[in-house]
Amino acid sequence: MNIAQLSIEKRTISWLFTLILLFGGFFAYQNLGRLEDPEFTLKKAMIVTSYPGASPEQVEQEVTYPIENVIQQLPYVDYVTSISSPGLSQISVEMKSTYRKEALRQIWDELRRKINDLSPTLPAGVYPSKVMDDFGDVYGVLYAISGDDYSYEELENYVDYLRRELVLVEGVGKVTVAGEQKPQVIVEISSHKLAQLGMSANVIYQLLQNQNTVSNAGKVTLEGESIRLHPTGEFKDVSELEDLLISKPGAKEIIYLGDVATVKREYPEIPNNPTHYAGKRTLLLGVSFASGVNVVDIGDKLKQHLVSLEYQRPYGIEINTLYNQPKEVEKSVDDFITSLIQAVSIVIGVLLLFMGFRSGLLIGAVLLITVFGTFIFMLMQQIDLQRISLGALIIALGMLVDNAIVITEGILVGLKKGYSKVKAATVIIEQTKWPLLGATIIAITAFAPIGLSSDATGEFAGSLFYVLLISLLLSWITAITVTPFLASLLFKQSKNDTNTNNDVNADELYKGRFFVLYSKLLKTVLVWPKVTLSIMFMSLLGALVLFGNVKQSFFPPSNTPIFYLDYWRYQGSDIRATEQDITKLEQYLLSKPEVVAVTSTIGQGAPRFMLTYAPEKIHPAYGQLIIRTTNLESLNSLLSEIRTYASENLTNAFIKLKRMEIGPSTDAKIEARFQGSDPETLRLLANQAIAILKQDGAAHNIRHDWRELTKVIRPQFNEQKARRLGISKSDLDNLLLTTLSGRKVGLYREGTRMLPIIARSPASERLNVDSLYDLQIFSPTLGVYLPIEQIVDGFNTEWENNLILRRDRKRTITVMADPDILGEETAANLLKRVKPLIDEIPLPQGYQLEWGGEFESASKAQKAIFGSLPMGYLVMFIITVLLFNSIKKSLIIWATVPLAIIGVTCGLYIMNSPFSFMALLGLLSLSGMLIKNGIVLMDQIELELSQNKDAYDAVFHSALSRLRPVSMAAITTILGMIPLLFDVFFESMAVTIMFGLGFATVLTLLVIPALYSIVFKVKSA
């Protein structure tokens, strides 16, 4: 008993199998996780090290260089970049994309050990390095918390309460806060009063440091009981600091700190990463999710928990949502499910229209059963509902009915020949089950380079392959089991049940205009096969020429109505000046009716609230505005208005507007990296590249990342004079630091917080550039204060590189540019024009040029795909050979694959769609679809020949008999892709598959017969 007979006769088992797939699939769908994008681990960490007082060159040589060296010793490293600026080293390390989340935990531990082992060897004055291996964490919910009449401290207390509460919600991973300003204890010491008393400020600093330290006073044992000793003397309140006795021991005159200084608790004058929402100072609270959770459910729990905490919210404090990933995910999944339902409806409608009510109903039922069954295995394999997996389902829809169509068509033909239902099903399944399995495996293998890629492409888009693997294999199983079972229920036995000779005329089987038209065209092709192939070859050459006019891109921008405005003031700007400029921009944007919300972060980027958002590193001259608009349609006009406003009103700054990205994010679409040792030479090379980009006229946002040179004041320290007076260079540094901005001299313990004690001069004595010569410095040798002129010969102003950037331990300056965000031109087309010109820039010996940006990202992704492509295609070809035991027949089938380029090129050109990375994946997948169709046709030719038919008749009748299955398979796939045309991520893939498959299917039905007739010398009738 074969499987078709078993499925029909054992109805209880068939019903049970069908219902398990249906109801099990429905249950699985309800329990599948929901995400916006596939779960993906960013393989990046940051190492931030402070070296106060050091110049950029000193930071580079004494901190950045040794840390880079130990990082490069790790075998997992892909590349290392660094920024050395005054007093700060910022190093980014990217691990190779082959490592997954589990391996990265161990890698980050090893990285941290390497950095900790290095710390003791770094120069004195270097603070311990901070290794931030959570730099890639995504905080999918981002709240902005503000209050008009509340201080930073009051806001921080409430935010800290929310942080403690929200982290307890099941499914929440981490909670972070941005925009915090740490309070500090300010001791404003009057240098004039100290001079009158002849007292050194160092005495006060030492007292402040020692008085508030925790030290062990021991314990005493009394009658077997151990009692701890804990003397008083610690400060309980900031005001107690003014009562600190600072006079010399034994001195008659008692002097308190309050006699020479004012003590107060306040926030720093120079803020650290201030953040705004709707023009108000705010704190940002980010919530990340645990792995493998349903984001939508956790979003509901967060919302409910916030409602339950409403009684604790002080009146006037507002909680606004900057980004709500659960809401975006819910909308995204709902839209995709709608597209899926539309696609299923389209496919079923096409089947009903072209194959009749009963056949269409049967195949539509098999399709739904297969889709629901796929959900079961997705749940078992922990594949969530997200952009890629849902897109894979829609792509698979048309292919899911291919096998069922072939079986249904065969049963219908068998019934017309007078077979019983069991015999009709048995004959077609026994005839086609292995060719259909081979064709299905080939279609799956076409997507294998995506899923089996070991790098980031495989991690991000791997679910595309696995969903197709599950669904297509399941479609083969349902085709040979459920299809004959349902056919036995829906189809009526043919009246021609006495015909057992299998001699029904083809004219009776294939009636209708479509078959008549095709048969005439096929006869012409078989008469003139060489002419047909010549026409195809010329069409292919024409398509290759036309392909040069198709736009090229990597990934499209998102259709979420959010965009970013990056604001760069001139290098060396104070963060407060940057904040003032950002405030002006906020006011301008908030006056626009199409703007819903404006969030700003100054000094660095915001917490990473979505996978493709890349937060900027620490730069006081940098600010970013995150703007949400009412809808996508209003975006372009608003971007144009902002650009005009910026060019007229913000002449001291560089403005960059950018859309929210779907794919990998880079600093710029076009990046040319020059590497070498001399900063002046690097700047000269960068300026030449910038000149070329400006001359092109279509490039925007042209700049380089070393930015402008900045001024530095260099006091000319006279060491000989200073040494005679007992004054060192560090004494001069401390004097300037204390007088101008403030010096950290100790810590004040306040509950759970450690507040720095900052010593500085009062505002009336604080210096500006014009009064540097008025400074006085204490001489330990003479015991008096002396004018600074006695140890400083003058103050010179010099220029320095404020930023020194490196890549893989080499100094690297990167020239950046973008195509016009408001135009149609893509980065690839712009690069095509400027790259040859920049490549011709003569490089001195020891210097080199590399290309980054979108070009590098696309090259890496394509390399990953094409790396596994030969093996995938080899497997596909071997399967084809095994099916037919013939190299010639396999080559005939494969010869149709390049013909898809004709349709793809025409489709992309007509629809004005770019050839993107997703279009490339679509092109690769086409090969499997076309070979599957070719196998179905070639298998029928083999069958006809095995029945001793004339070669010409075998080819002709095989093509005629496979017309409906092949055409229906293509039509259902093409029309099922229509919903994806309206999704910006899948649009180019949909166009590629629809036009490529449509055109190539027509050619398959003509070219394979023509090639077969030439190769096997089939003579026309």
- pLDDT tens for each residue of 148-201: 888 888 899 999 999 999 999 999 989 999 998 888 999 998 888 888 888 888
Q: Looking at the structure, tell me whether residues 360 and 490 fall in a common domain.
A: yes
Distance between first and last Cα of the chain: 41
Around 537, how many Cα atoms within 13 Å sit in the side-chain half-sphere? 7
Task: Tell whether the torsion through CA atoms of 437, 440, 445 and 446 is positive or negative.
Answer: positive
CATH of the domain at 538: 1.20.1640.10
Cα–chain-centroid distance for residue 98? 16
Q: What pLDDT, on a 0 to 100 scale, did the predictor assign at position 108?
A: 92
Question: How many other β-carbons are positioned within 10 Å of the β-carbon of residue 30?
Answer: 9
Q: What pLDDT, on a 0 to 100 scale, did the predictor assign at position 500?
A: 47
Q: Looking at the structure, tell me whether residues 521 and 573 fall in a common domain.
A: no
Please state, in angstroms and rounded to a whole number, the distance separating the CA atoms of residues 607 and 159: 16
Q: Looking at the structure, tell me whether residues 417 and 474 fall in a common domain.
A: yes
Q: What b/e string do you get for 451-462 counting C-beta neighbours within 10 Å, with b at 16 or more?
A: bbbebbbbbbbb
**Residue that finishes a domain, picked among 639, 660, 681:** 660
For residue 44, give the nearest of 68, 73, 79 by alpha carbon: 79
Q: Looking at the structure, tell me whether residues 984 and 904 fall in a common domain.
A: yes
Residues 6+ apart with CB under 8 A from 859: none
Give the pair of three-digit tokens for residue 396: 């698979």
Q: Looking at the structure, tell me whether residues 945 and 1013 fall in a common domain.
A: yes
368: in domain:
yes
Q: Looking at the structure, tell me whether residues 749 and 647 fall in a common domain.
A: no
Is residue 641 within 8 Å of residue 594, measured between CB atoms? no
Please state, in angstroms and rounded to a whole number, the distance separating the CA atoms of residues 554 and 892: 33
pTM of this structure: 0.84
303: in domain:
no
Phi and psi at residue 959, to the nearest 5°: -60, -40
Please state, in angstroms and rounded to a whole number, the distance separating the CA atoms of residues 743 and 727: 18
Is residue 708 within 8 Å of residue 686, measured between CB atoms? no
Residues 6+ apart with CB under 8 A from 370: 21, 400, 471, 474, 475, 478
Please state, in angstroms and rounded to a whole number, the distance separating the CA atoms of residues 283 and 546: 53
369: in domain:
yes
253: in domain:
yes
Q: Looking at the structure, tell me whether residues 515 and 586 fall in a common domain.
A: no
Q: What pLDDT, on a 0 to 100 scale, did the predictor assign at position 354?
A: 78
Q: Looking at the structure, tell me whether residues 516 and 615 fall in a common domain.
A: no
Q: What pLDDT, on a 0 to 100 scale, did the predictor assign at position 550?
A: 87
31: in domain:
no
Distances (CA, A) of 798 to 56, 716, 839: 14, 12, 34
The alpha-carbon radius of gyration of the chain (Å, integer) is: 37
Q: What b/e string do you get for 60-89 counting C-beta neighbours within 10 Å, with b at 16 or more?
A: bebbbeebbeebeeeebbbebbbbbbbbbb
Q: Looking at the structure, tell me whether residues 486 and 577 fall in a common domain.
A: no
Domain residues for the domain of 893 are: 510-549+886-1020
Is residue 470 within 8 Å of residue 478, measured between CB atoms? no
Q: What pLDDT, on a 0 to 100 scale, did the predictor assign at position 507?
A: 53
Query: What is the domain count for the chain?
Result: 4
Helices (H) and strands (E) in the chain, counts: 33, 28
- Helix (H) / strand (E) element for 173: namely strand 172-178
867: in domain:
no
Q: What does the longest C-alpha to C-alpha distance in the chain come to?
A: 132
Phi and psi at residue 188, to the nearest 5°: -90, 105
Is residue 903 within 8 Å of residue 995, measured between CB atoms? yes
**Residue that finishes a domain, picked among 616, 631, 660:** 660
Q: What pLDDT, on a 0 to 100 scale, did the predictor assign at position 508?
A: 54
Q: Looking at the structure, tell me whether residues 420 and 528 fall in a common domain.
A: no
For residue 125, give the nearest of 49, 47, 210 by alpha carbon: 49
Q: Looking at the structure, tell me whether residues 969 and 896 fall in a common domain.
A: yes
892: in domain:
yes
70: in domain:
no
Is residue 937 within 8 Å of residue 359, measured between CB atoms? no
- Which residues of the chain fall short of a pLDDT of 70? 1, 211-213, 494-512, 767-768, 1021
For residue 670, give the nearest of 780, 493, 552, 497 by alpha carbon: 552
- Helix (H) / strand (E) element for 458: namely helix 456-490
Is residue 276 within 8 Å of residue 605, measured between CB atoms? no
Is residue 216 within 8 Å of residue 223, measured between CB atoms? no
Residue 61 DSSP symbol: I
Residue with tokens 């314990």: 219
**Residue that finishes a domain, picked among 644, 660, 676:** 660
Q: Looking at the structure, tell me whether residues 372 and 440 fall in a common domain.
A: yes
